[in-house]
Amino acid sequence: MKKIIYLIAIFIIASTTQAKEGVLIEILDGDTLHFETENKINRCKMAYINSPESNYNDKLQKDIHTCKNVSLTEMLNAGNSATKNAKKILKIGKAYSYSVNNDDTSEQICEVALGNGITYSEQMLIDGYAVLWKVFKNKQDEQNFKSLLLHAKNKNNGLWGNISKQRQAIKCLDEIRNNTNETFNPDYASK
């Protein structure tokens, strides 16, 4: 299984439009990172995943409006748990190779290689602190990530094992994704 995941990670990084190396300078939440690359700060939304917000923003407001059974505090607590897990995986001040899958300079869609045969997005799913994001480059990537999410749910990893409202927060984010029709986008790299 690790060998398959490693090959998929190599494929993901090799098939992207741009590979970079940068120093991680900030973890905003479980799916948003800041890298310094060539004296420029790059804001990266992690490809394929969504995690609860850990800061008050428009997305948090939208999530709370949709997730009627989850309070603002509970969603923020789930987001803080996801951010804490991200800080276990990644180290501020360390250089990472990351790929950029779009040309948007305000927020790039990125994937980070961890060097252990998997990507950061995969690790967040495995650990149970993220759900699938609605856009995939191809069906093979989507199937791989769905299986990682299912594994985390079945093993009650991370937020999935939490009996408090944090589980309700991650469950609601997963339901939001499942209620959208956008799961595969052949023009992903051009967005």
Q: Please tell me the predicted confidence (pLDDT) of residue 182.
A: 46
Q: Please tell me the predicted confidence (pLDDT) of residue 184.
A: 41
pLDDT tens digits along 43-60: 999 989 999 999 999 999
Q: Please tell me the predicted confidence (pLDDT) of residue 100.
A: 86
8 A C-beta contact, residue 129 and residue 29: no
> Which tokens belong to 100?
């950029």
The full set of domains in the chain, from first to last, is 2-190 (2.40.50.90)
Q: How far is the C-alpha of 129 from the C-alpha of 105, rounded, in Å? A: 26
Strand partners, 112: 98
pTM here is 0.83
The alpha helices in the chain, defined as continuous H runs, are 2-14, 58-66, 72-89, 120-127, 139-154, 165-178
- Residue 186, pLDDT > 50, answer no
Rounded to a whole number of angstroms, the distance between the first and last alpha carbons of the chain is 31
pLDDT tens digits along 79-136: 999 999 999 999 999 999 998 887 666 678 899 999 888 999 999 999 999 999 866 6
